[in-house]
Amino acid sequence: MTKPFLPLELVARVKAQLRRYKRYNAAAKDEERVILCGGLALDEDRHSCTLNEKPLSLTPTEFAILCILCKNRGKVVSAETLFLQVWGEAYYSKNSNTVTAHIRHLREKMGDSFENPKYIKTVWGCGYKIEE
């Protein structure tokens, strides 16, 4: 905008820019980050999870693990990768029961069995995955 200009014109132009910004960015802002995976629905913004329309009560760690598995559905995610993404630390190989214990708790809460899992499957020697 070139000088001289009226202050009212400046205010009008700023309001027009704000109006355009709100209108075009409202769609992106209102989109909820919901991950759908089979009967699972994970809402990252509300930190809630439902399985076949029934709410699951998950700890933050369990929610993070399930979220990572759902985002990588169909792919095998190693225990090392899960550990690094959830805790942000290097995987401590002498104590690998941490991820295993959390997966077991997730399966219990989901009503899944270790012998014949419907949701979280173990790929021996590789890691875990959720089918597409």
Q: What is the pTM of this model?
A: 0.69
Q: What DSSP state is assigned to residue 51?
A: E
- Note whether 78 and 126 are within 8 A (CB): yes
| Any domain includes 120 | yes
| Any domain includes 19 | no
Count each helix (H run) and each strand (E run) in the chain, helices first: 4, 6
Tokens 């009967």 sit at which residue? 39
Question: What integer pLDDT is reported at residue 9 of this predicted model?
Answer: 86
| Any domain includes 39 | yes
| Any domain includes 12 | no
Domain count, the chain: 1
Token output for 60:
């933050």
Token output for 50:
């439902």
| Residue 118 CA neighbour count, 13 Å, CB half | 11
| Any domain includes 11 | no
What stretches in the chain show pLDDT beneath 70? 1-2, 26-32, 91-96, 132
Q: pLDDT tens-digit profile of 40-72?
A: 888 888 888 888 888 888 899 999 999 999 888
- Please give the residue range of the domain that contains residue 64: 34-130
| Any domain includes 18 | no
Contact residues for 82 (Cβ-Cβ < 8 A; gap 6+): 65, 68, 69, 99, 127, 128
Question: What integer pLDDT is reported at residue 47 of this predicted model?
Answer: 86
Q: What is the CATH number of the domain that holds 59?
A: 1.10.10.10
Question: What integer pLDDT is reported at residue 91 of this predicted model?
Answer: 64
Q: How many CB atoms lie under 10 A from the CB of residue 5? A: 10
Report how far residue 46's alpha carbon sits from residue 50's, in angstroms, rounded to the nearest whole number: 12
